[in-house]
């Protein structure tokens, strides 16, 4: 059965949505699911009944389950959001597909491209849509960057530097009180964030594959629970160069994205967004004018960020937009905003970067 056939059964009403996993990321999905006319939250599932009940108490909807199979059988959801730790995704995604549901899965969907390919095949065989979250593509500064690139303001994109500096060891990924790995993935804690950097690089440069990947994937803190906590990767893709970095030992927290093209360069930050554009007409002798413009733009960004922090417009503000686009596509029977080919390309490049840690 195809997507549109399946949606005929939705009878024009909202799609029945269910969530598996009621941890931190669920609190980013649930506001959309409980406020959009396109979604009706019917089920909340977590191995911890208390956490599932906490989510229901907060969002006021959904029947609580501790067993995914039981929820799928009882609620027959149209869409299942798999929001559990990555090592559990494969089995849960397959369960949801087998129950006839479309699936939105948090990133990383799997630990390897081969596993991603297998899940994509499973979804195709079931005639269901499978979407791996890439919410940052829907954030304001990324949308602005993509628009600048599409308009040709940068010329031909040559370089893309992305730096994520975040002390994630202070959270569950590095919590030495907890047993087992913080992230049960080939590249440990780094792997949990890496897909963001990879899909941003691919979207901003248009490069899907790499000719070569150089660099270092390491554990610099000595915290074994993290697995890997440091990445500095140089990605060569035709005329495009990319540098992707993840570090826990530098301050302040930042998610810097710089794109340089044959005509101009632009830099932003996804945690405290600003937009610094260096290019025509303010180049050469007019460069000081450009710097002054940049200064005013920075002041405006400061006020906007202050307003955003008070108004709780945070780094995950793209997630409800991504979900809205996904649900709209499901209702219309259109291709989803994140395609299987894009998911697979991201997983393959991620594999190449993760290989930097081989043997460590």
Partner 1 sequence: MKVFVTGAGGFLGRAVVDAALAAGHEVLAMHRPASLPAPETQPAGVAVVAGDLRQRGAWEQAVGEAEAVIHCAAAASGDLPTQLAGTVLATENLLAALPARLARFVHVSSFSVYDFSAPGWSGRFDERTPLEPAPLRRDAYTQTKLQQEAMVRAACRETGRVLAIIRPGAIFGPGKDWDYGRAMRVGGLDLIFAPLSPMRLVHVANCAEALVAALTVPLGGEAVVNLVDDEQPTHWGFHYRAKRAGAPLGLGVPVPYLAVRAVGVAAWLASRLFFGGRARLPEWLDLPRQQVRWRGLSYRNDEAKRVLGWRPRVTLTEGIADTVRAARQSP
Determine if residue 20 is left, alpha or beta; phi over 0 gives left, psi from -120 to 50 gives alpha, anything else beta.
Answer: beta
Length of the chain: 360
Taking the complex as a whole, the smallest distance from the CB of residue 312 to partner 1 amounts, in Å, to: 5
φ, ψ (nearest 5 deg) of residue 66? -115, 0
Nearer to partner 1, 2 or 171 (CB): 171
Quickly tell me which residue has 């691919």 as its tokens: 202
Q: If DSSP codes are grouped into helix, strand and coil, which group holds residue 165?
A: strand
**Least distance from C-beta 171 to partner 1, angstroms?**
8
Q: Least separation, in Å, of the C-beta of 145 and partner 1?
A: 26
44 or 148: CB nearest partner 1 = 44
Determine contact, residues 204/259, Cβ cutoff 8 Å: yes
Q: How far is the CB of 85 from partner 1 (least distance, A)?
A: 13
Nearer to partner 1, 178 or 298 (CB): 178
Backbone angles phi, psi at 332, to 5 degrees: -85, -15
Q: How far is CA 306 from CA 256, 277, 287, in A?
A: 18, 21, 29
- Decide whether 46 or 267 has the Cβ nearer to partner 1: 46
Cβ closest to partner 1, residue 31 vs residue 155: 31
Strand order in the sheet with 39-45: 63-65, 39-45, 15-20, 79-82, 102-105, 130-132
Q: Which residue has the tokens 């010329």?
A: 155
Q: How far is the CB of 193 from partner 1 (least distance, A)?
A: 17
Applying CB under 8 A, the residues found at the interface with partner 1 are 23-24, 27, 48-51, 53-54, 57-58, 171-172, 175-179, 307, 309-312
CA atoms within 13 A on the CB side of 207: 23
CB of 64 to partner 1, least distance (A): 13
Closer CB to partner 1, 46 or 78, in the complex: 46
> Smaller CB distance to partner 1: residue 88 or 112?
88
To the nearest whole angstrom, how small is the minimum distance from the Cβ of residue 253 to partner 1? Answer: 14
Distance, in Å, from the CA atom of 157 to the CA atom of 71, rounded to the nearest integer, reads 47
> What stretches of 184-273 show up as alpha helix (H) in DSSP?
188-205
Cβ closer to partner 1: 27 or 274? 27
- Closest approach, Cβ 197 to partner 1, in A, equals 23
Nearest to 191 by CA among 107, 120, 248, 131: 107
Nearer to partner 1, 26 or 71 (CB): 26
User: Please, are residues 49 and 66 in contact by the beta-carbon 8 Å criterion?
Assistant: yes
CB of 195 to partner 1, least distance (A): 21
Taking the CA atoms of residue 308, residue 310, residue 314 and residue 318 in that order, the dihedral angle to the nearest 10 degrees is -60
3-state secondary structure of 285: helix
Q: How far apart are alpha carbons 136 and 69 in whole angstroms? A: 31
């Amino acid at each position: 059965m195809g997507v549109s056939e399946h949606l005929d059964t939705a009878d024009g009403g909202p799609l029945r949505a269910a969530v598996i996993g009621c941890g931190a990321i669920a609190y980013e999905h649930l506001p959309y699911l409980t406020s959009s006319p396109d979604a009706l939250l019917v089920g909340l599932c977590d191995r911890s009944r208390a956490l599932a009940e906490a989510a229901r108490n907060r969002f006021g909807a959904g029947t609580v389950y501790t067993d995914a199979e039981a929820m799928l059988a009882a609620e027959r959801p149209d869409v299942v959001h798999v929001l559990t730790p990555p090592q559990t995704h494969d089995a849960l995604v397959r369960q949801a597909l087998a129950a006839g549901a479309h699936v939105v899965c948090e990133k990383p969907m799997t630990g390897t491209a081969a596993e991603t390919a297998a899940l994509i095949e499973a979804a195709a065989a079931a005639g269901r849509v499978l979407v791996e979250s890439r919410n940052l593509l829907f954030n304001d500064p990324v949308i602005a960057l993509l628009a600048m690139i599409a308009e040709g303001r940068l010329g031909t994109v040559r370089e893309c530097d992305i730096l994520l500096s975040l002390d994630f060891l202070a959270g569950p990924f590095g919590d030495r009180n907890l047993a087992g790995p913080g992230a049960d993935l080939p590249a440990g804690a780094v792997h949990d964030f890496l897909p963001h950097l990879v899909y941003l690089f691919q979207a901003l440069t248009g490069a899907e594959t790499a000719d070569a990947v150089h660099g270092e994937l390491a554990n610099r803190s000595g915290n074994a629970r993290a697995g890997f906590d440091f990445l500095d990767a140089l990605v060569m893709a035709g005329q495009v160069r990319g540098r992707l970095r993840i570090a826990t030992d530098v301050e302040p927290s930042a998610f810097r994205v710089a794109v340089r093209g044959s005509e101009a360069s632009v830099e932003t930050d996804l945690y405290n967004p600003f937009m610094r554009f260096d290019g025509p007409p303010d180049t050469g002798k007019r460069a000081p004018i450009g710097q002054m413009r940049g200064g005013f733009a920075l002041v405006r960004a400061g006020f906007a960020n202050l307003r955003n922090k008070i108004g709780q417009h945070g780094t995950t503000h793209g997630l409800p937009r991504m979900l809205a686009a996904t649900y709209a596509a499901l209702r219309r029977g259109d291709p989803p905003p994140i395609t299987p080919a894009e998911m697979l390309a991201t997983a393959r490049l991620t594999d190449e970067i993760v290989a930097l840690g081989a043997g460590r």
